[in-house]
Amino acid sequence: MHLSCYKRAVDGSQVNSISIHRYNMAPTTVRKFESEEQVSVALASYIHHLSAKFISAYGTFSVVLSGGTLIDTLRKLTEPPYISSIDWSKWLIFFLDERVVPLDHPDSNYKLAYDGFLSKVPIPASNIFSIKEKLSPEEAADEYEQRLKHLVANNTLKTSPTTGFAKFDLMLVGMGPEGHVASLFCWYFQRFEKTKWVTFITDSPKPPPPRITFTLPLINSADHIAMVVTGEDAADAVKVALGKHAADYYPLPVQKVSPEENLTWFLDKEAASEL
Ligand SMILES: O=C(O)[C@H](O)[C@@H](O)[C@H](O)[C@H](O)COP(=O)(O)O
């Protein structure tokens, strides 16, 4: 399979700059499982542990959801023992990226998350931060960023002392087969954004085209990130991101994911098949 971000380094200077791109602040743990079912089981246990830890330390647990297959992989959380042992009332839910469509539209990540996860757990509706409807992509991104800044100002969300961006407790991040994360794609400028917390795209190569997305500095200010990647379509990009020759290539967006504390990859056998 051809990955659009592939670009062989041709001289020493490119190799140096690529190795800087790949510099990773966070300790990275790679967990491989025999099946997607086992990923789902392990992910539920991991999230349960973090939920208890953050709620005990701070009183809340801020969680950022991706769209895609991740939502189905969260299914074990909606079952015993987790459904009754997690303090759902303390969870705060955010969206890593969102399609700019009505919230009841089949393309909406909110609808996907609501139908597959949020409707099955008792998180208060006021703790679920979906995008505002009827705004342009630019307006929706600005509005979401302002809402996050307000939540930081009133101490609902923490701030990273290193970056000044909001510091979410846990981001659950999926990856596309060509290495995109959130709505940050290989050759699209949004992946290089340094200042904004939330930006927009009107020509996403993955449909639908209009979206808003967290930026890499906001993503990387998170405490914990779980990269949840399953299925054989992802195997080539996983190899580029985690394989021993990763530095030979121009970095995929996923290679720029580096949270402040902890990065854990959850892979099934198919996604890990090229490692
Ligand atoms: O809006 C979206 O489409 C998602 O948020 C996107 O970033 C998704 O997480 C990846 O494309 C992985 O999707 P899959 O898990 O379906 O491969």
- Sorted by where each begins, the domain ranges of the chain are 26-268
- Quote the ipTM score: 0.97
pTM, to two decimals: 0.91
**Residue-by-residue DSSP string for 154-169:** TTSSEE-TTTSSEE-S
Phi, psi of 148 (to 5 degrees): -60, -40
135 CA distance to ligand 1 middle (Å): 22
- Interatomic CA distance for residues 228 and 138, integer angstroms: 28
31 CA distance to ligand 1 middle (Å): 20
Q: Give the sign of the dihedral formed by CA 194, CA 22, CA 46, CA 53.
A: negative
188-209 per-residue burial string, b: 16 or more CB within 10 A, e: under 16: bebbebeebbbbbbeebebeee
Of all protein residues, the one whose alpha carbon is nearest to atom 16 of ligand 1 is 68
What per-residue confidence (pLDDT) applies to 103?
98
- Interatomic CA distance for residues 73 and 96, integer angstroms: 16
What per-residue confidence (pLDDT) applies to 256?
94
Weakly modelled stretches of the chain, pLDDT under 70: 1-26, 246-248
Q: Is 261 left (phi over 0), alpha (psi -120 to 50) or beta?
A: alpha
Establish whether residue 70 lines the binding site of ligand 1, counting it when its CB lies within 6 angstroms of any ligand atom. yes
- Interatomic CA distance for residues 234 and 274, integer angstroms: 10
* Tokens (6 digits) for 212: 């808003």
Q: Tell me yes or no: is domain 26-268 CATH 3.40.50.1360.
A: yes
**Which residues have a Cβ under 8 Å from the Cβ of 7 and sit 6 or more positions away?**
249, 250
Residues 122-161: tens digit of each pLDDT: 999 999 999 999 999 999 999 999 999 999 999 999 999 9
Establish whether residue 257 lines the binding site of ligand 1, counting it when its CB lies within 6 angstroms of any ligand atom. no
The residue assigned the tokens 């393309």 is: 107
